[in-house]
């Protein structure tokens, strides 16, 4: 398989790249070619709010590569997520995903935005305590583990029919601030319990939380740890 060689960041919040040569971008342009599946068809009752397919995100505009509001993951990862959903449904809850597989071209869009100091439209909501110039040093990496199809951004919701309310996790999704660290001491006891509930539910089925972001989980072991994808989400 031919592709573009990359060093993928395993600590995207810190902006630190692992020295992991041998990770390449697949030349595939269709999800079926690489076993990326629509998670909504695998996980009954999954709630989805795919932020990067619309304008409600830190860039403030739909992101390149998100042509449809779908959650794609590699098939074994989607099947593991279905088992998490079964568990949380027994507690009267549901999973809600904000992002799943992320094309390489989408990550490149993030980087272009971060390098544009004139665009400050979303500062008050997503990075009120930081200058935009600092985001590339600590928050937005030039490569992402999401592009390997085994990482997702998720929370828990409680639903009555079609009316769902997110559990209070202490910060919104994609809030660039230390308070989003999973174990940050400033959150309330209730918020701490909710974060622990999510982490434990995901961990039971192989998903490891990234300590800098309460919403960020990666399935271990990754099915394709040395392959990233640039398949558009359609």
Q: What is the set of active-site residues?
A: 213
Per the CB < 8 A criterion, the answer to whether 208 and 221 are in contact is no
Per the CB < 8 A criterion, the answer to whether 218 and 145 are in contact is yes
The C-alpha atoms of residue 19 and residue 16 are separated, in whole angstroms, by: 10
The C-alpha atoms of residue 167 and residue 95 are separated, in whole angstroms, by: 10
CA dihedral sign of residues 167, 74, 72, 43? negative
Per the CB < 8 A criterion, the answer to whether 18 and 7 are in contact is yes
Per the CB < 8 A criterion, the answer to whether 229 and 28 are in contact is yes
Per the CB < 8 A criterion, the answer to whether 11 and 19 are in contact is no
Residues 6+ apart with CB under 8 A from 178: 184
Measured between alpha carbons, how far apart are the two ends of the chain, in Å? 23
């Amino acid at each position: 398989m031919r592709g573009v060689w990359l060093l993928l960041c395993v600590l995207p919040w810190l902006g630190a790249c692992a020295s992991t040569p041998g990770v390449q971008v697949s030349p595939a342009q269709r999800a079926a070619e690489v076993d990326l599946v629509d998670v909504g068809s695998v996980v009954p009752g999954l709630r989805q709010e795919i932020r990067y397919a619309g304008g409600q995100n830190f860039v403030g505009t739909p992101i390149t590569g998100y042509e449809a509001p779908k959650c794609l993951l590699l098939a074994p990862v989607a099947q593991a997520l279905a088992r998490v959903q079964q568990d949380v449904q027994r507690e009267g809850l549901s999973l809600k995903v904000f992002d799943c597989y992320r094309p390489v071209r989408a990550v490149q869009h993030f980087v272009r935005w971060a390098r544009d100091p004139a665009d400050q439209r979303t500062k008050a909501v997503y990075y009120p305590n930081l200058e935009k110039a600092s985001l590339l040093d600590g928050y937005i990496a030039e490569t992402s583990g999401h592009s390997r199809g085994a990482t997702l951004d998720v929370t828990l919701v409680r639903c009555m029919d079609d009316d769902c309310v997110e559990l209070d996790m202490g910060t919104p999704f994609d809030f660039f601030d230390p308070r989003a660290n999973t174990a940050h001491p400033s959150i309330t006891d209730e918020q701490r319990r909710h974060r622990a509930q999510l982490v434990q539910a995901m961990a039971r089925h192989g998903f490891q939380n990234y300590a800098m972001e309460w919403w960020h989980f990666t399935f271990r072991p990754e099915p394709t740890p040395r392959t990233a994808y640039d398949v558009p989400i359609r």
